[in-house]
Amino acid sequence: MLKTPPHTPETPEPSKASGTTFGPLPLLFYLLQWLPIAAVVGIFAGSASALLLVSLAKATEIREGHIWIVALLPLAGLAVGVLYWYTGRSVEAGNNLILEEVHAEVENPDAVIPFRMTPLILIGTFLTHLFGGSAGREGTAIQTGASLADQLCRPLRMDRAQRRIVLMMGISAGFASVFGTPLAGTVFGLEVLALGALSYEAIAPCVIAAFIGEMVTRAWGVTHTVYIVERVPNMSLRGLLSAIAAGVLFGLMAMTFTKLTHAIKRMAARHIPWPPLRPFAGGVIVAAAVFAIGTDHTRRFLGLGVPEIVDAFHKILPPYDFAAKTLFTSATLGMGFKGGEVTPLFFIGATMGNALSHLLPLPPSLLAGMGFVAVFAGAANTPIASTLMAIELFGAEAGAYAGIACILSYLFSGHSGIYTAQRIGRAKD
Amino acid sequence: MLKTPPHTPETPEPSKASGTTFGPLPLLFYLLQWLPIAAVVGIFAGSASALLLVSLAKATEIREGHIWIVALLPLAGLAVGVLYWYTGRSVEAGNNLILEEVHAEVENPDAVIPFRMTPLILIGTFLTHLFGGSAGREGTAIQTGASLADQLCRPLRMDRAQRRIVLMMGISAGFASVFGTPLAGTVFGLEVLALGALSYEAIAPCVIAAFIGEMVTRAWGVTHTVYIVERVPNMSLRGLLSAIAAGVLFGLMAMTFTKLTHAIKRMAARHIPWPPLRPFAGGVIVAAAVFAIGTDHTRRFLGLGVPEIVDAFHKILPPYDFAAKTLFTSATLGMGFKGGEVTPLFFIGATMGNALSHLLPLPPSLLAGMGFVAVFAGAANTPIASTLMAIELFGAEAGAYAGIACILSYLFSGHSGIYTAQRIGRAKD
């Protein structure tokens, strides 16, 4: 049985800072206890992210080489639907299941996130991307990270407080390793739990797991895409007001995306009673749109869309691309395909930022970087993790503009984000 | 009368994210209401910081040119003591008064932080530095920022929730402008209120006030010292473990500093009943030490100590410098001189990091940067603001190491920080 941390109140009680006992020695035990666990979580999550990234690169390469494969997207949807219906109903809730488990008030000593979450989400994501669904990968990384981490809890006989920490470490390490951003991953694991508040419980185990996870992915030889913000003007009043205006628009975009995706999900649930048919129908819609409009015009909206995101930093793109990506992604994910929302949100934000360069006096490359993180910040209600992500990907100078945009986007994106199991810690004013 | 924000619960009640009404239009009013106020707060705080920085540069120049002036430090202490005793008892609590006012449960409609806080703290800080006390400046910047901001509350007939926001904006703008770190200032204004938790109330007004404050200081022609971390190795397991070990040691250093300063303060209060004599006695102790050891050996520990901090990034320094600076600063501040703790904490951290390069396999320059922010992170219980500060001052690569060190330092620094009015939002485990 592991040492229970000396004090983990469920509802923090404000009190004067001087009234608590505390010693460095118990903390050293705390650190020595969590260090090896963080290492194991990091190795699990980082390895799963490496496998995910390699498999998605393969899926993308095959799809790009044989674009007719998108015609089979309905069948892929049916396969994903059937797979989850017959073997994965307990893990269907995905990210929300993990957040629910972190929040659970009562501990069921036998509750462990089933191991099958990992292979199912990896297969579901691979099929989604191979056949041209528009989706992301952070959901997959979080689910593999947290479900693999959770397997440690029973053999180590952890109590509820300890299991919370393990799950948060899994989220942090998954996020850190899939995007190559360990500081953002650390804060994301804490920030995603509740909207408007951040508790530092688990911050030390999370930072260790996040950095180890990121290193393990690199150790597998997997590299991350480099995005370069070409020019960052010195901060000025004009720059500040432009960043505020952009942030407001990114936030409204985040709200639109969230509402649209949730609406499609509800509509599908109402009209298609048998769940496996929902991604089938989604596949029909997406594939029909792809071939009706023409693959030359639509292929950039399928899968992760990384080449188009890179282009948003270097070229002027069609100003409607962010809207098209929104429709493709909401249809894909709202109908039940797998992967995640975040990389499409990067795409939507980066191309929308690129388009905003027609209206706002900031360089398109900088606006692309700001949108990349800020639409995500609004949709996930994670402004600080998103700001850190901007800094880790684009550098500290661009991070200042991105930070302003992330905070304003967070404020304007509404109270329902992409993770419906997220709680409200502090309402937006 | 300003519009009251629609919903600002004192104790956040966790609830499902979907159950709250919300609209972009009220938020637009919220933004348009706070934007001009943030601009005024930023102008106040940024101008006060500019004045402070210019006056401290002058004080330092005079002292360095006439080091015998340190012999008058007891008289300067008496002057500061008498000044506060006869005109400043209502603002003597300084930073803690501001934190108390933010936390106040019941609103006294006439409660405004007296305007006199601003001239008193500026004069007190100037005298402290001119005559060779070892002190900082962030306390001064926070107090001028918040007390000037608070003057807006009565004419604008603000309610308690709005006044909280104004005070937080003042803290953010003061911190951002005095150090030239707007993102760190933004988060510091939220993070310093409670240990272990961060509420996003006021995050948008704070980011605007912080960026405007920083710009205003620059617009006055005031520049900030540039610290350069010379080389940052790629993150490795060895680097991670070294950063963890350094962070633990920085945290224990922060705890030592805090305990020592508080102990000196308590002892002075017990043995010297008339408060103005306490800084007099402090001046006697510091001046006696300076001349007994010799001014050539001790002058680098007086005032802000910026040249020595810069050296910590480029040279190997005597390994006991951090201990000497701790003693000089605890004696100066514990006995009642004015200024702040943070720049001495930067000094202590940077020189301690420099010394740790004899023990840990990281470059001295990087360890100096890590210590610079991490001892402060532990003493103020602000790991995220400190990480952002590292990024803004030293860049994103050094920020990764610094982030690990800040979080570990936070964990190991104990529950009583330099700001005793800070509350506990979430105990450290």
How do the domains of chain B map onto residue ranges? 26-219, 237-424
Backbone angles phi, psi at B198, to 5 degrees: -140, 120
C-alpha–C-alpha distance, residues B358 and B338, integer Å: 34
C-alpha–C-alpha distance, residues A346 and B385, integer Å: 25
Which residues are within 8 A (CB) of B205 and not within 5 positions of it... i.e. 6 or more apart?
B34, B37, B38, B165, B168, B169
Q: What is the pLDDT of residues B175-212, one digit of tens each?
A: 999 999 999 999 999 999 988 888 898 999 999 999 99
Return the SS3 of B195.
Answer: strand
The stretch A14-25 carries a mean pLDDT of 50
pLDDT computed for residue A305 by the predictor: 95
Residue A10 above 80 pLDDT? no
Q: Please, what is the Cα angle at A236 between A232 and A240, to 5 degrees?
A: 85
Chain B, window 384-413: residues with a beta carbon less than 8 angstroms from a chain A beta carbon: 384, 387-388, 391-392, 395-396, 399-400, 403-404, 407-408, 410-412
- Which residue in chain B is spatially nearest to A252 when comparing CA positions? B24
pLDDT computed for residue A94 by the predictor: 86
Residue B13 above 60 pLDDT? no
> In chain B, what percentage of residues exceed pLDDT 90?
77
pLDDT computed for residue A161 by the predictor: 86
Joined together, the tokens standing for residue A214 give 């990121």
Joined together, the tokens standing for residue A35 give 């260090």
In order of B152, B193, B421, the CA distances from A17 in angstroms are 30, 11, 7
C-alpha–C-alpha distance, residues A120 and A90, integer Å: 11
Residue A119 above 50 pLDDT? yes
What's the fold here for domain A31-219? Answer: Clc chloride channel (1.10.3080)
What's the fold here for domain A237-421? Answer: Clc chloride channel (1.10.3080)
pLDDT computed for residue B328 by the predictor: 97
In order of A69, A370, B31, B133, B336, the CA distances from A245 in angstroms are 41, 12, 11, 45, 46
Joined together, the tokens standing for residue A211 give 């950095």
Q: How confident is the model at residue B429 (pLDDT cuts 50, 70, 90)?
A: low
The stretch A322-345 carries a mean pLDDT of 95
pLDDT computed for residue B98 by the predictor: 86
pLDDT computed for residue B421 by the predictor: 87
Burial state string for A58-92 with b = 16 or more CB within 10 A and e = fewer than 16: ebbeebeeebebbebbbebbbbbbbbbeeebeebe
The stretch B335-358 carries a mean pLDDT of 96
pLDDT computed for residue B250 by the predictor: 98
B19 contacts on A by Cβ (under 8 Å): 424
Is the domain B237-424 a CATH 3.20.20.70 member? no
Contact between A201 and B429 using a beta-carbon 8 Å cutoff? yes
The stretch A357-382 carries a mean pLDDT of 97
> Cα–chain-centroid distance for residue A296?
28
Using the Cβ of A30 and the Cβ atoms of chain B, whether some distance falls under 8 Å is answered with yes
- Report strand pairing: B197-199 vs A197-199: antiparallel
- Lowest-pLDDT choice from A36-40, A362-366, B21-25: B21-25
Joined together, the tokens standing for residue A334 give 């709202």
C-alpha–C-alpha distance, residues B289 and B293, integer Å: 6
pLDDT computed for residue B88 by the predictor: 85
Q: What is the pLDDT of residues A138-196, one digit of tens each?
A: 889 999 999 999 999 888 988 888 899 999 999 999 999 999 999 999 999 999 998 88
Residue A374 above 80 pLDDT? yes
Optimal mutation site among B96, B237, B428, interface A, most CBs of chain A within 10 A: B428
Q: Which residue has the tokens 């009013």?
A: B29
C-alpha–C-alpha distance, residues B162 and B4, integer Å: 7
pLDDT computed for residue A22 by the predictor: 60
Q: Is A257 left (phi over 0), alpha (psi -120 to 50) or beta?
A: alpha
pLDDT computed for residue B106 by the predictor: 67
Q: DSSP letter at A210? A: H
Average pLDDT, chain A: 91
> In chain B, what percentage of residues exceed pLDDT 70?
93
pLDDT computed for residue A141 by the predictor: 92
C-alpha–C-alpha distance, residues B261 and B279, integer Å: 13
ipTM for this prediction? 0.92
Is the domain B26-219 a CATH 3.30.930.10 member? no
Q: How confident is the model at residue B417 (pLDDT cuts 50, 70, 90)?
A: confident
Which residues are within 8 A (CB) of B376 and not within 5 positions of it... i.e. 6 or more apart?
B254, B342, B345, B346, B349, B382, B386, B389
Q: Do domains A31-219 and A237-421 have the same CATH topology?
A: yes
The stretch B305-309 carries a mean pLDDT of 96
pLDDT computed for residue B101 by the predictor: 86
Residue scoring higher pLDDT (A163 or B387): B387
Which residues are within 8 A (CB) of A110 and not within 5 positions of it... i.e. 6 or more apart?
none
Residue scoring higher pLDDT (A103 or A323): A323
